[in-house]
Amino acid sequence: MTDPIIYTNYVAAHHRKAAEVLPFIDAYVAKKEQEIAEIEQMVERYENRRAKEERAYQSMSTLRRLLSGRKPDHHLAVEYIHFVKKPMEKVRELRQEIDKARSIQQSSSPSDIVSVSSELANEMR
């Protein structure tokens, strides 16, 4: 069966019966929570590395600090955006997807027609 696809604001919305979707939601949520955990670990590793670099720099003598060279602040800002801000935005999006899937699971009866994200629709195939 091919499901109808409705494009709203360039996001494909698939409509399925809740009975088709409900069995897949737990696995989908678990997969998304695993992705969140991996992203948070990556962010934590970056923050630990930055703190370690900062402690090492602060423990140097004044002469070594002058000679060692330090990353410019704008480089640190770009690193922060790349390694912290963007991944945490992804985490926020994943949590919204999880909340939407759980709301489908909790508030839908098996005969209802529900709108699911394209990712969840692909997961069901």
pLDDT digits (tens, 9 = 90+) for 14-53: 777 777 777 888 888 999 999 999 999 999 999 999 999 9
Structure tokens that stand for 117 in this block = 């994200």
Neighbours of 83 (CB within 10 A): 17
Check if the beta carbon of residue 111 is closer than 8 Å to that of residue 19: yes
**The model's pTM:** 0.77
pLDDT greater at residue 38 or residue 117: 38
CA–CA dist 44, 54 (Å, integer): 15
pLDDT digits (tens, 9 = 90+) for 57-66: 999 998 888 8
